[in-house]
Amino acid sequence: MPAKVAAFTYYLPETTYTNADFANDFPETKLQTLQKIGVEKRHITPKGQTSSDLAFAAAEKLFTENSIPRSEIDFLIYCSFDYDHYTPATAGILQHRLGLSTRCGAFDMGLGCSAYVYGIATAVSLLETLQLRNVLLLTASSLTHKIHAKDRGNRFLFGDAASATLISFSEKKQTGPFTFGTDGSGAGQIMVPHGGMRTPLNETSFEESTDEFGNVTTPASFYMDGFGIFRFTVATVPGMIEETLQKAGITRNDIDLFVFHQPNVFLNELLRKKLMIPEEKFVHCMKDFGNTVQATIPIALTEALKEGRLKPGMKVLLAGFGVGLSWACGIIDYE
Amino acid sequence: MPSVQELITKIEHEIEELPQGVLQPDTSFRQLPEWSSMHALIIIALAETEYNVTLSGNDLRSCNTVNDLHQIIESRKG
């Protein structure tokens, strides 16, 4: 489709949580074991700040770095689990805060690890169908707020962040094709069970349970079946990538850079080997961020660009997979 | 057919902090003081990549010793 991913950036909250902080909180854990996860530092959204604040800061950064006129944004998509209020949509609040036109469309998208690829695909469809010029895609995660203080595994893995991406009409560049997948039978594999309409918070919501490895959680906190997700990923991601390449009529060798969601380095390294992708074509970007859910791919793109690994003219494959269960893959021609 | 010893060598290779010789065929690996969810994940990944065998968390929970693990992998290889 005639569209390009024109610009992207990210924003991190100032508060950090390093492996030294982690070692203080969990002195019984051997950090050496966790090195394969590939995280050394995460940023944490402090109390009083919201995911939409992070998204706002990321968007401001994007406008400043790229001198994009705000009046030319036709659509705003906000992807997050975190909304300012039960209603109205946070995207509308952001439209006003960012000083975007009142002729700008805006809506929220509640996906997680697959959100960024979904967001780009949706933006491209809007550009084409409505003949728009620019879509602003914002993603933000403050998942650490939902992780129990004694949930060792997840506190090591996750960090908070936001991203801003501009997707624009282009006569020269192509974005796509995309493939998507959903398996709601795995909804419980990554979940905050209580606090939504199905099970409102009640007297059992804060009852602690401890798994065989000593990780503590409650029904009101984030839960992830790490082993189940591992199996899902290994079983699903290679097929999704092959399907996308087939749709595009190209092979793996035609892709210059593979940028996946970053759940942990160990898992992505296994996927890389399974797909026989050479190291120089694969981006790992976890060390200073952790798993930032909706923000991992745009952070990895930004860092790859800074490091000179992402260059104009490259064909880039993006893959998001996780909570839902939901997965999406797409190919972009980077300008 | 890979022997238990081969499996032990592979596990020792993947879990660098595990001193060689600690793991024996009858070692109850989940009782090792260092045992963690990361180690469980490493073993599940090892079964997947080296033997093309998919193990679940429950499979691993049903194993006590390296021998048990070896048997599950052998039975799934088909």
CATH number reported for the structural domain that contains residue A26 in this entry: 3.40.47.10
Closest Cβ–Cβ partner in B17, B45, B61 for A30: B17
Closest Cβ–Cβ partner in B17, B44, B61 for A33: B17
Q: Which residue on chain B is closest to A30 by alpha carbon? A: B34
- Where residue B39 falls among pLDDT bands split at 50, 70, 90? confident
Looking at the fold, whether A16 and A159 belong to one and the same domain comes out as yes
Q: Where are the domains of chain B?
A: 4-76
Q: Which residue on chain B is closest to A268 by alpha carbon? A: B45
Looking at the fold, whether A240 and A318 belong to one and the same domain comes out as yes
CB contacts < 8 Å between A and B, how many? 52
Inter-chain residue contact B37 with A153, CB threshold 8 Å:
yes
Query: Which of B29, B37, B76 has the highest number of chain A CBs within 10 A, making it the mutation to test binding with A?
Result: B37
For residue B47, pLDDT over 60 is answered with yes
Contacts of residue A177, defined as CB under 8 A and 6 or more positions apart, other chains included, come to A244, A247, A248, A330, A331
Radius of gyration from C-alpha coordinates of chain A: 19
Last residue of a domain, one of A145, A171, A197: A171
Inter-chain residue contact A266 with B40, CB threshold 8 Å:
no
Complex ipTM, two decimals?
0.82
Q: What pLDDT, on a 0 to 100 scale, did the predictor assign at position A2?
A: 85
Q: Which residue on chain A is closest to B55 by alpha carbon? A: A231
Looking at the fold, whether A133 and A257 belong to one and the same domain comes out as no
- Where residue B78 falls among pLDDT bands split at 50, 70, 90? low
Query: Which of A155, A156, A157, A213 has the highest number of chain B CBs within 10 A, making it the mutation to test binding with B?
Result: A213
Inter-chain residue contact A33 with B40, CB threshold 8 Å:
no
Looking at the fold, whether A147 and A26 belong to one and the same domain comes out as yes
Residues in chain B closer than 8 A to A225 (CB atoms): 57
Q: What pLDDT, on a 0 to 100 scale, did the predictor assign at position A28?
A: 85
Inter-chain residue contact B36 with A33, CB threshold 8 Å:
yes
Compute the average pLDDT of residues B34-39.
Answer: 82
Last residue of a domain, one of A171, A202, A226: A171
Averaged pLDDT of chain B: 84
The β-bridge partners of A158 are A291
pLDDT averaged per 10 residues in sequence order, chain A, 335 residues: 92 97 90 88 97 98 93 97 97 98 97 98 95 96 97 96 96 89 97 97 96 92 93 94 97 97 94 95 97 98 97 97 98 92
Q: What pLDDT, on a 0 to 100 scale, did the predictor assign at position B35?
A: 80
Alpha-carbon distance of A83 to A90, in angstroms, equals 6
- Where residue B1 falls among pLDDT bands split at 50, 70, 90? low
CATH label, B4-76, candidates 3.40.50.1820, 3.40.50.300, 1.10.3720.10, 1.10.1200.10: 1.10.1200.10
Residues in chain A closer than 8 A to B48 (CB atoms): 234, 270
- Where residue B49 falls among pLDDT bands split at 50, 70, 90? confident
Q: What are phi and psi of B27, to 5 degrees?
A: -70, 130
Q: What pLDDT, on a 0 to 100 scale, did the predictor assign at position A243?
A: 97
Distance from CA of A232 to the nearest CA of B (A): 11
Inter-chain residue contact B44 with A37, CB threshold 8 Å:
no
Closest Cβ–Cβ partner in B16, B37, B49 for A226: B37
Closest Cβ–Cβ partner in B15, B17, B37 for A213: B37
Last residue of a domain, one of A148, A171, A194: A171
Inter-chain residue contact A33 with B48, CB threshold 8 Å:
no
Distance from CA of B4 to the nearest CA of A (A): 23
Q: What pLDDT, on a 0 to 100 scale, did the predictor assign at position A11?
A: 98
Q: 3-class SS at B62?
A: coil
Whole-prediction pTM: 0.94
Inter-chain residue contact A234 with B48, CB threshold 8 Å:
yes
Inter-chain residue contact A32 with B17, CB threshold 8 Å:
yes
Looking at the fold, whether A112 and A195 belong to one and the same domain comes out as no
Inter-chain residue contact A212 with B42, CB threshold 8 Å:
no
For residue B2, pLDDT over 80 is answered with no
Q: Which residue range forms the structural domain that includes residue A313?
A: 178-333
Number of domains chain A contains: 2
